[in-house]
Amino acid sequence: MRKFILLALGCADAYNNGVARKPPLGWQTWCSAGPCGTDHCFDYQIKDTAKAMVDNGMKAAGYEWIILDDCWHPRRDSNGTLVPHAAFFPDGMMPVIDYVHSLGLKFGLYTSVGTTTCHGGWSPGSLGHFEEDANLFAGWGVDYVKIDYCGKDDSPEGHKNFSRALNATGRPIVLELCRGPYQEQADWGYAPSIAQVWRATGDHHDKFSSTLEQVEAMSRPSIYIPGEGGSGPYGWAYGDMMMTGGEGCFPYDPKVPQHCPKQTDAEYRTEVSLYAVLGSPMMVGTDIRNMTAIMTQLLLDPTMLRINQDEEAKIGEKISTCGGTDAWVRHLTGGDVAIALPNLGDDAATLKVCATDVGVSATEFTAMEVWTRKSLTPSAAGDYSIAVASHDTALLYLSPRNDAAA
Ligand code: GLA
């Protein structure tokens, strides 16, 4: 049986079993059908969603994950084996997993480190069954496991033991540890050495205050250190699923994809811009069977994705520029720079970023705003000014003048 090793990456140690070199991009079930707890979890919904990911251009843009959250497994059988929900998966899990794989996509499942899962404890957790569950998942061809932190006897030791059990299966599986916000948990420094994704935030919801909480949690200096919680190749601080385009409607028809957005288009632009610059995994938590105009604009934008999926994956960080504006800045491979300038105020504002604060000489760079594709001309002093609507975000992309990319 193959054992994986921890590979040193620069000065940071990330758990490298060959998967999740870049932040995972995909879709997940939790909250996807409406208020959290009303998930898409029928086999036909999962298949339709996977098909939609191919047909709507997401797969071609780089999205590849279909992840089932806390919805799929109500019990164990008399042998202790997890059993998929009979009404949701009348033919078991394999036809769904095989279908997802046949489309060239990858498949993930959810469990918990304690005795039960998190949604009212309706489902068995993996405690006492780590090896058994890891082997079941690997045997089914699962590519990603999210392990939550609920039920009795949840513990960091459990996370570590579950990681060992997954590792021992010999199948390269992405492990997501869900126990956020990262910085507030005792003994949480172990995440990058045993998993590829860890929750840097509490649960996200479809409201702007929640988007701001995610960004704030992802912007704390303590998660900027690769190896200790900061993102880098094979290890990603995660802002939870994205609610871009709006949660589902309630009550809902499982066959009719609908959105009942609780944020404005501008607010979704802020969500996506910040997730891109901070290099967070992007798991869409809304119904991609119905791509609204704002979902298409934001989720498929090639420059936004290039920022999020940057090759070298240096961490983006929050800085203060021009004596007061908060800017989220990411230095990209080849010398390009991405800058998110959110306007969190209730009125439109002109925001300013000073080139020297982001380490560039304005005369040597071209600049454009990603969402409008408009180029920006710096002032003689080397600052860029841009009008930004309330709760919207300007996403600037700077390239060295001799760089034809972007
Ligand atoms: C917790 C997690 C969520 C989701 C639910 C499922 O709240 O943080 O992401 O997995 O459990 O019950």
**DSSP assigned state of 235:** B
Q: Which residue has the higher pLDDT, 187 or 161?
A: 161
Global pTM reads 0.94
Distance CA 405, CA 122 (A): 50
Ligand 1 mean position, distance from CA 53 (Å) = 23
Distance CA 99, CA 289 (A): 16
Among 119, 146, 179, 213, which is best to mutate for testing ligand 1, by the most ligand atoms less than 8 A from CB? 119
- Please choose, from the candidates 103, 112, 171, the residue with its C-alpha nearest in 3D space to the C-alpha of residue 142: 171
Among 28, 117, 178, 214, which is best to mutate for testing ligand 1, by the most ligand atoms less than 8 A from CB? 178
Which atom of ligand 1 is least distant from the CA of 241? Answer: 9
Ligand 1 mean position, distance from CA 199 (Å) = 11
| Burial bucket for residue 144 (CB in 10 Å: 0-12, 13-18, 19+) | buried
Supply the pLDDT for residue 182: 86
Write out the catalytic residue numbers. 148, 203
Is the confidence at residue 2, as pLDDT, over 80?
no
Average pLDDT over residues 287-295: 97
Ligand 1 mean position, distance from CA 59 (Å) = 25
CB 145 within 8 A of CB 165: no
Mean per-residue pLDDT of the chain: 92
Which atom of ligand 1 is least distant from the CA of 203? Answer: 8
Confidence of residue 220 (pLDDT cuts 50, 70, 90): confident
Ligand 1 mean position, distance from CA 70 (Å) = 7
Average pLDDT over residues 379-389: 96
Is the confidence at residue 314, as pLDDT, over 70?
yes
pLDDT above 70 covers a percentage of the chain that reads 94
Residue type, 105: L
260 token code pair: 């009942």
Q: Which residue has the higher pLDDT, 13 or 151?
A: 151
Q: Which residue has the tokens 């920022």?
A: 307
Kindly list the protein residues whose Cβ atom lies closer than 6 A to any atom of ligand 1: 30, 69-70, 117-119, 148, 178, 203
pLDDT digits (tens, 9 = 90+) for 61-99: 999 999 999 999 999 999 999 999 999 999 999 999 999
> Which of 48-52, 182-186, 267-271, 316-320 is predicted least confidently?
182-186
Confidence of residue 225 (pLDDT cuts 50, 70, 90): low
